[in-house]
Amino acid sequence: MMHDAFAYIELDNLSGDNGLSFYDDVLSSLCDQYSARLKLRLSAAYIDGFDSESDLHNRFSKPLPEIPLALEVNWEAQYDPANPKNWSSLAKGMIVAILSFATTTVICYSTSYSSCLISGGRQQGIIEEFHISDTIAALGITMYLLGIAVGSLILAPLSEMYGRKPGYITGMALFTILILPCALADNLAALLVPRFFGAVAGSVMISNSPGTINDIVTEEYRALAFSMWSIGPFLGPVIGSLIGGFVFEVGCHQSTSIEHLG
């Protein structure tokens, strides 16, 4: 972490009035261009690489690149109430439960699709309605899993740069909106495209939830918190198929998408 703009150069091989004068010139130039601490050590061996003092002056008289200011968040005290790790156990438990439920919803949507591929009873499945083969129909699951993989690669780093909350709000809002085109799709392409981008948006729960848990839970209870959170994602594929099967029996394949809005 860099504080209090300051710059200095140690010139081991320059001495005398000329050396001090040149030192002041370079120091003044550096202080004008940098807002963060800069340490530039020039050893005697390094300075020997220049033919004259003018070469050294020309080297450091050029405009210097901007150095980004690095920030590090610290808490005022060990028991600072603003520190998420000092929140109450009830608050932490509620956050873990909400994260687990939201992640389960995203995972359930991946397998509820499989429940409506084949016609059941009086309901017409996706294969018969769109007149496609079993292999082509399975692309709905493939595209969804591919979207989760791609989205995790993008959204996980963004959460470290811009925070968790914007990612959760934006990702889950887009995930919810993109369920509607799936419910209204009248062909396979209109179903696969929103499923893919919906998975990209929904992957924010899978990629960012572990980071949130790590932010709020101390090392002593971190393994327990991760275990509680993972119950939902691990049961999601099973729950999604069961719920999707019951919904499809009483409705249609569009109903398996609409039920996730509830």
Do 80 and 86 contact (CB within 8 A), yes or no? yes
Q: How many whole angstroms separate alpha carbon 153 and alpha carbon 204?
A: 10
Over range 10-38, report the average pLDDT: 48
pLDDT in tens, 45-61: 344 454 555 555 565 55
> Residue 224, exposed/middle/buried by CB under 10 A (0-12, 13-18, 19+)?
exposed
Identity of the residue numbered 94: M
Q: How many whole angstroms separate alpha carbon 77 and alpha carbon 125?
A: 60
pLDDT in tens, 141-183: 899 999 999 999 999 999 888 889 999 999 999 999 998 888 8
**Which domains, from first to last, does the chain contain?**
7-60 (no CATH), 84-261 (1.20.1250.20)
> Residue 178, exposed/middle/buried by CB under 10 A (0-12, 13-18, 19+)?
buried
Q: What is the pLDDT of residue 111?
A: 84
Residues 6+ apart with CB under 8 A from 58: none
Q: What is the pTM of this model?
A: 0.67
Do 219 and 171 contact (CB within 8 A), yes or no? no
- Asked if residue 74 has pLDDT above 80, the reply is no
Could you tell me where the DSSP H helices lie in the chain? 16-33, 44-47, 53-60, 89-112, 126-130, 134-137, 139-162, 164-177, 179-184, 188-216, 219-250, 255-258
